[in-house]
Amino acid sequence: MPARRSTALGLTLTALTLCAAAGTSLGLAAGEASAPPPAARWHVGCGVACAQPVEAEVIDPLAALPPPSEVRIPRVAIRSSLVGLDLDSKGELEAPVDYAKAGWYEQGTLPGEPGPAVIAGHVDSYRGPAVFYRLRELRPGDTVEVRRGDTWLPFRVVATGHYPKDKFPTTRVYGATPGSELRLITCGGEFDRSRRSYRDNVVVYAVDARLPEVPRTSKGHGPTEW
Amino acid sequence: MTAARPSPRALHRLAAAAGAVLIGAGLSAAIAAPAAAEAGVGYVRLAHLSPDTPPVDVYVDDLGGKMKGLKFDAVPYGVMSDYLSVPPGTYAVSMRKVGADPKSKPVLTESVTVTEGSAHTVAGTGRFAELGLSVIDDDITAPPSGEAKIRVLQASVRSPVLDIRTKGGQEVGTGLKFATTSDYRGVKPGNWTLDLTPQSGTAAEATCTLAGGTTYSLLVLDGKNGLTTDLKVDAKAGEITPQGGVETGAGGTSDGGTIALVTGLGLVALAGVVGVGAVGLRRRARRTW
């Protein structure tokens, strides 16, 4: 036990320092919430060095980029600025008010970060085709690009899905993913005139088309030469 | 002077062609119900977690030959790559000395089988003397709501056994041995300080932010001055995920259902009329000219 060994080295009288918060005290240190007035204490565990403060924060290389502003899919001539989308009172994703514009789910994943970023657009308006009318034509291998600031982030279509809205696979579409992914959603299938709603949703699944980053620097300290 | 009139033969051809096109359009409009294509991908990432092994060149090759091979240059101890999305299949991950001939025999090679939706970390682990490539399966299912999930990849040989808990007492892992990976544990999201307490040697305190709905791997490493850490995302979803589908259509082009069928059959009928007309034209043509 480190505490006992330190005791053997000789108890160190220290003023109350950060070390008290470091944890290996003999039960003398009070809780952090009610810090006692500065006083000399018997305190062990910091004889040689206190616990080394280190960082363990996830690094997001795209953190400096603004939220997404535009989507384009050259092969099917789709290009639209992006409006922000929220959830309705039922917890379902709202569709853009403007039939000519696609939207992204603002409380979800930012495109380019790990997770499934969600972009939705109408297939048609009351009069005719809308922004995602040709989304159904997308096939694996097609490229979708999302703009953040001056950077166009490329995604590669890997699958498409066609689901009745009452059997929408919420976890598959919105669930956690290891890499940065994209979900493009519109309507499809038969139009139910009595409910003024399409029966199905068309979902296009795309993944990050960039090569994965290998960090240039390491926190580890190992040999550098063979 | 002869007027530029289309010849009867040209008229006939035109009519027949129009008929064919209409038949094609009619049929495709009536049948066009796009099939769901669900191929998907799996994920692989790479790590160098052997403290006394110099940097290595890491290669990823698709044994099925679908994907072009990849090479990552001079990956040093302590580094973990982002995820690489790959089609389901079997991949060979190989490590060679920095600058070694890509055709030379690798120092290590290991195969990893990727299925749709699976994720794996292929890491060089252990001391250099017993260096191995480990395939570590990553859990990418979301944690229960209101929780984060974390596990530890213990890659410190100078602190070969250690405990990790949050200040406040949530256990992250105990008795974690060098070159092992702990099970995932649910923890409350938030800003945490993790106490890393080795059985011998200097302790460390790691500050981190854990988000709800997210799964993490904490790398424990030998740093320049004792223990250090790095945090990686294994899988992440939005903080609040939507429920169900989206209402993204007003029906102005609703030709996917009954209307399409009617239109389709109508086009087929029209094609038939045009076709008959073409025959009639030919007959008449014979009679008149």
Q: What is the pLDDT of residue A216?
A: 84
Q: What is the pLDDT of residue B45?
A: 97
Q: Give the whole-number percent of chain A exceeding pLDDT 70.
A: 78
What is the CB neighbour count within 10 angstroms for residue A37?
Answer: 5
Q: What is the pLDDT of residue B223?
A: 95
Q: Is A168 on the interface with B (CB under 8 A)?
A: yes
Q: Which among B165, B248, B255 is the top mutation candidate for probing chain A, defined by the most A β-carbons within 10 Å of its own β-carbon?
A: B248
CB contact under 8 A, A108 and B242: yes
Contacts of B122 (CB under 8 A, 6+ apart): B44, B45, B46, B47, B93, B110, B112, B133, B134, B135, B136
Q: In the beta sheet, which residues pair with residue B19?
A: none
A64 vs B89: CA distance, rounded Å: 35
Q: Which residue of A has its CA nearest to B35?
A: A162
Smallest Cα distance from A207 to chain B, Å: 7
Contacts of B219 (CB under 8 A, 6+ apart): B47, B49, B78, B80, B153, B155, B229, B230, B231, B232
| Least confident interval from A57-61, B120-124, B170-174, B244-248 | A57-61
Q: Is A116 on the interface with B (CB under 8 A)?
A: yes
Question: Which residue is listed with tokens 């950077």?
Answer: A151
Residue A193 in contact with residue B251, Cβ under 8 Å? yes
CB contact under 8 A, A105 and B84: no
CB contact under 8 A, B76 and A168: no
Q: Which residue of B has its CA nearest to A110?
A: B238
Residue A54 in contact with residue B194, Cβ under 8 Å? no
Closest partner CB to B140 (pick from A54, A178, A212): A178
- pLDDT per position as a tens digit, B61-114: 999 998 899 999 999 999 999 999 999 999 999 999 999 999 999 999 999 999
Cβ-in-10-Å burial (0-12, 13-18, 19+) of B128 comes to: middle
Q: What is the pLDDT of residue A68?
A: 98
Q: Which residue of A has its CA nearest to B44?
A: A178
Q: What is the pLDDT of residue B62?
A: 96
The secondary structure of B191-204 as a DSSP string is EEEEEEEESSS--E
- pLDDT per position as a tens digit, A4-63: 444 444 444 443 343 344 434 333 333 344 444 555 555 455 545 578 899 899 988 899
CB contact under 8 A, A57 and B207: yes
Q: Taking residues A186-202, report their average pLDDT.
A: 95
Closest partner CB to A108 (pick from B33, B226, B238): B238
- pLDDT per position as a tens digit, A116-158: 999 999 999 999 999 999 999 999 999 999 999 999 999 999 9
What is the CB neighbour count within 10 angstroms for residue B82?
Answer: 21
| Least confident interval from B30-39, B116-125, B130-139, B216-225 | B30-39
- pLDDT at position A197 over 50: yes
Q: pTM of the prediction?
A: 0.77
How many residues does the structure list for chain A?
Answer: 226
Contacts of B258 in chain A (CB under 8 A): 190
CB contact under 8 A, A115 and B253: no
The secondary structure of B59-97 as a DSSP string is EEEETTS-S--EEEEEEPTT-BPPPEEE-SEEEEEEEEE
